[in-house]
Amino acid sequence: MAAKKKRVVLTDPRAIRALAHPARQRIIDELYSGRVLTATECAELAGLTPSATSYHLRALSRWGIIERAEGSPDGRERPWQAPATSLVISSQSTGAGRLASQAMMRSNIDRVMEQFEELPGDDPWDGVSAMNRSRLWLTKAETEQLDKDLMEVVNRYRRGRSAASHPAGTRQVSTLIAIVPTGKPPANGDAE
């Protein structure tokens, strides 16, 4: 079995739009967490019919977002997998790219909010659930460094762990990191 690529980078607004559907988001979340799922399992996860789910899986596959895994032992159904360990959206330059990226972000934010709502109050891990919102005054260079630092922390905890392989006593934990410049840019341009 070949090693997975580190990242799939999407730049085409049409590929990014392919991500925006909530059912596709659920499937992508599971596949990029390391799971390998059949179309039937994806349908159950997304709450869709198998035929509707097959349509979504083929659309995601067309853009290289997901791929077919090796066949099942009985050969009846070929499962799906992520071709990399992470998915990166890198298209903010066009109007269509910005709209597609924003739709994807909205879907991610909505899913995290659902997860907060689904967590029972008596869950022993409830005390570690958190959402932090901060306002910082940073230069562009400091903002870029903040993004890099945060991703290094996340990757330190992600490394070597997946839905299929993780230490005993662990539990899936969702994170959402957003860095959004607000207000007007400084008068001196980029303000490194």
pLDDT in tens, 75-85: 677 899 999 98
- What pLDDT was estimated at residue 165? 86
User: What DSSP element (H or E) covers 127?
Assistant: none
Sign of dihedral through CA atoms 96, 98, 101, 107? Answer: negative
- Give the residue from 120, 115, 132, 102 showing the smallest Cα distance to 20: 102
Which 3 state secondary structure label does DSSP give 89?
strand
- Quote the pTM value: 0.68
- What pLDDT was estimated at residue 104? 73
Between the CA of residue 131 and those of 22, 54, 125, 128, 139, what are the distances in Å? 22, 35, 14, 10, 24
For the chain, report the end-to-end CA distance as a whole number of angstroms.
44
139's CB contacts (< 8 A; 6+ apart) are 191, 192
Q: Which residues of the chain have a pLDDT value below 50?
A: 1
- What pLDDT was estimated at residue 29? 85
CA distance 146 to 177: 11
- Give the residue from 95, 92, 79 showing the smallest Cα distance to 164: 79
- What pLDDT was estimated at residue 137? 93
- What pLDDT was estimated at residue 96? 67
Q: Amino acid identity, residue 123?
A: D
- What pLDDT was estimated at residue 22? 82
Which 3 state secondary structure label does DSSP give 84?
strand
